[in-house]
């Protein structure tokens, strides 16, 4: 079966993009970051959060359900989980493209009782391309710049080495660029300018053969998104990452504003995984992108659907309608 990702990327590059071609990835690679807590909290039959955490088998089941729904275009996984699901042939007759996270820099180490994000991020790779390339032909590579020449040089060298290996194994990738996890002395606009310039600097020395298929970046406001998305739209496709769970309004507002200012891809992890109804949430994400509903109305519809499914919302409607991320108020 043709992969929807390939078809949509062709339309975007050929300037035939329509909102229905917006690419959504379910980022289920959190076990490389958060360990035991990754699958999310346990829920009772009414969907109410109870003590304890789901198990890895639950996490895999959620991936299977989302893949069968055909609502997403990419399923992003760790190498260990990806191996088990690819071997089950879960993606063989599916339009969903499997992808594997190829590195895990120290700024995504979010284990309980740790504080790795309090210092400059360091490059690190768990996954081996010689092994992963036997399973899939697409991976995510991540870099984080922190305005420090030594740490940023280490990041760029790590990315360069990965690209050399990728050419050898005919392995495609998309590039994730995080905002610095530490205070680097910039306001929101300065940070957006800095990250945009770092991205262009990082890919300017690459030939077409080794360039990322698209980007995954933090939403740094309308100006930063529009500036980057319009810089080289035929060759540089911009996507957004989801970040923390936030409210349901945060989720819909983020995908609405990012798509409004030029993003063509959304890669959401916790926003999907920690929701009461992941399938219902992604269905409404698509409706918001396609302008079939507004972010505010989508939250109301989502809560109505939870009631119909007899699921307990994590927040009441009033609180879930709130925008809690300051960048989304710009």
CB 176 within 8 A of CB 136: no
Domain that holds residue 279: 4-329
pLDDT (tens digit per residue) in 211-269: 999 999 999 999 999 999 999 998 999 999 999 999 999 999 999 999 999 999 999 99
Q: How far is CA 233 from the centre of its chain?
A: 20
Using CA atoms, how far apart are residues 10 and 28, in angstroms rounded to an integer? 25
Residue 324 has pLDDT above 90, yes or no: yes
Q: 148: Cβ–Cβ under 8 A, 6 or more apart, which residues?
A: 120
Q: Which of 303, 203, 213 is nearest to 249 (CA)?
A: 303
pLDDT (tens digit per residue) in 163-219: 999 999 999 999 999 999 999 999 999 999 999 999 999 999 999 999 999 999 999
pLDDT (tens digit per residue) in 139-172: 999 999 999 999 999 999 999 999 999 999 999 9
Using CA atoms, how far apart are residues 262 and 14, in angstroms rounded to an integer? 15
Q: How many domains does the chain have?
A: 1
Using CA atoms, how far apart are residues 45 and 218, in angstroms rounded to an integer? 34
210: helix, strand or coil: helix
Using CA atoms, how far apart are residues 31 and 37, in angstroms rounded to an integer? 8
Q: Is the pTM of this model over 0.95?
A: yes
Angle at 203 between CA 175 and CA 151, to 5 degrees: 75
Q: Which of 326, 269, 295 is nearest to 62 (CA)?
A: 269
pLDDT (tens digit per residue) in 18-30: 999 999 999 999 9
Domain CATH number, residue 74 = 3.20.20.70
**Cα separation values, 329 from 36, 179, 323, 325, Å:** 33, 19, 7, 7
């Amino acid at each position: 079966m043709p992969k929807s990702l390939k078809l949509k990327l062709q339309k975007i590059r050929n300037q035939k993009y329509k909102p229905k071609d917006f690419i959504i990835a379910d980022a289920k690679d959190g076990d490389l970051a958060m360990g035991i807590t990754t699958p999310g909290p346990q829920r009772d039959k009414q969907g109410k959060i109870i003590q304890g955490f789901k198990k890895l088998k639950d996490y895999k089941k959620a991936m299977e359900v989302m893949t069968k729904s055909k609502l997403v275009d990419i399923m992003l996984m760790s190498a260990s989980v990806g191996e088990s699901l690819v071997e089950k042939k879960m993606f063989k007759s599916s339009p969903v493209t499997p992808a594997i996270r190829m590195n895990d820099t120290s700024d995504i180490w979010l284990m309980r009782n740790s504080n790795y994000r309090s210092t400059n991020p360091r490059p690190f790779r768990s996954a081996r391309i010689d092994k992963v390339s036997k399973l899939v032909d697409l991976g995510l590579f991540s870099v984080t710049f922190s305005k420090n020449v030594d740490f940023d040089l280490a990041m760029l060298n790590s990315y360069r080495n990965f690209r050399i290996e990728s050419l050898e194994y005919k392995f495609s990738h998309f590039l994730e660029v995080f905002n610095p996890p530490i205070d680097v002395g910039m306001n929101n606009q300065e940070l957006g300018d800095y990250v945009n310039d770092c991205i262009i600097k990082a890919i300017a020395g690459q030939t077409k053969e080794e360039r990322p298929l698209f980007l995954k970046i933090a939403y740094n406001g309308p100006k930063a998104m529009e500036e980057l998305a319009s810089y080289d739209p035929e060759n540089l496709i911009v996507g957004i990452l989801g970040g923390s769970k936030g409210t349901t309004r945060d989720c819909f507002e983020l995908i609405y504003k990012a798509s409004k200012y030029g993003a063509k891809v959304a890669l959401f992890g916790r926003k999907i995984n920690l929701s009461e109804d992941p399938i219902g949430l992604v269905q409404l994400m698509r409706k918001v992108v396609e302008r079939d509903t507004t972010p505010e109305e989508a939250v109301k519809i989502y809560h109505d659907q939870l009631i119909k499914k007899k699921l307990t919302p994590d927040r009441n409607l009033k609180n879930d309608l709130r925008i809690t991320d300051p960048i989304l108020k710009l």
